[in-house]
Amino acid sequence: MGEVVLAAKICHVPSMYLSELPGKHHGCREAAIAGHKEIGRRARELGADTAVVFDVHWLVNSAYHVNSGEHFKGIYTSNELPHFIKNMEYEYPGCPELGELIAAEANAVDVRTLAHNIPSLELEYGTLVPMRYMHMGVPEDQKFNVVSIAAWCAWHRLQDSFTFGAAVRRAIEKSDRKVVVLASGSLSHRFSDDRNAEANIHNWTREFDKQVDLHVVELWRQGRWKEFCAMLPDYAEHCFGEGKMHDTAMLLGLLGGPDYTKPAQIITAPFGSSGTGQINAIFPV
């Protein structure tokens, strides 16, 4: 029987890759990278062999979609921010069986979902960035099998994403996999305007977004999920939630939605990045 061994809300900011490179931003995201490495370490310690990533950088306009590829390998350059991520190599095994199970469970509760095993369907950086750091320094035979799920759901209801997340949990439990589940997306997501972008690489764009983010994180620390779930639609709208925060709805659906009560553990404290709010936080299973 399969099991969700660890669940987390994580960042995937491109400046993490920039932080590796020589130049004025070298080392600027050490805390975020260390947070990813720690989450990966804990997941392996708990026996995780597979990572399911709710990726808000995979945009879909109709239905829910699962990348169930058998193997992922390539060299990635971001078309959004090519001056941040360029020529980033990656290679990870996939898990088609789990992807198919997820689609079946979601369709069974009337959430229209398709699983795809298409070699040309590549991973987005909401998956590639965390996988890079959670695999850094890890032997080949300890790499997580990767299943990536589209979470930039442009025309979808948040409630369907809660339902979808619960279906993901059931699918995992029907599998033979030990899984770390990652909601890969930001807190607030109001990018700084172009002329202010460089100056704001380590800040929030608006004080309003920063203060709401800090309040939200305090709710998480206290395990006040019923209140957070109630405010999530407004939070996503007024603070420009990345991908409308469907990744967060999916993760909370997997954990029980408003009935979830466990306090979050903050691994990387909230920080500003190019105007957006970011965090790494474990949501105890």
Q: Decide: 146 and 95 in contact? Cβ < 8 Å.
A: yes
Q: What is the 3-state secondary structure (H, E, C) of 158-198?
A: HHHHHHHHHHHHHHHHHCCCEEEEEEECCCCCCCCCHHHCC
pLDDT at position 269 is 98
pLDDT at position 250 is 99
CA–CA distance, 38 with 177 (Å, rounded to integer)? 21
pLDDT at position 275 is 97
Q: Dump pLDDT digits (tens) for 22-57.
A: 999 899 999 999 999 999 999 999 999 999 999 999
Task: Give the pTM.
Answer: 0.98
With a CB cutoff of 8 Å and minimum separation 6, the contacts of 256 are: none
Q: In this structure, which CATH number among 3.30.70.100, 3.40.830.10, 3.10.100.10, 3.40.50.261 belongs to the domain 3-282?
A: 3.40.830.10
pLDDT at position 238 is 98
Instruction: Give the residues across from 282 on adjacent strands.
Output: 8, 265
Look at residues 32, 55, 100, 84 and name the one whose alpha carbon lies nearest to residue 246: 55
Look at residues 252, 247, 258, 235 and name the one whose alpha carbon lies nearest to residue 64: 247
pLDDT at position 34 is 98
CA–CA distance, 77 with 120 (Å, rounded to integer)? 16
Any idea what the Cα angle at residue 203 is, between residues 199 and 205, rounded to 5°?
90
pLDDT at position 4 is 98
Give the dihedral sign, CA 219/159/148/187. negative
pLDDT at position 235 is 98
Q: What is the distance between the terminal CA atoms of the chain, rounded to a whole angstrom?
A: 16
Length of the chain: 285
CA–CA distance, 249 with 152 (Å, rounded to integer)? 11
pLDDT at position 136 is 94
Look at residues 48, 174, 152, 6 and name the one whose alpha carbon lies nearest to residue 102: 174
Parts of the chain with a pLDDT under 50: none
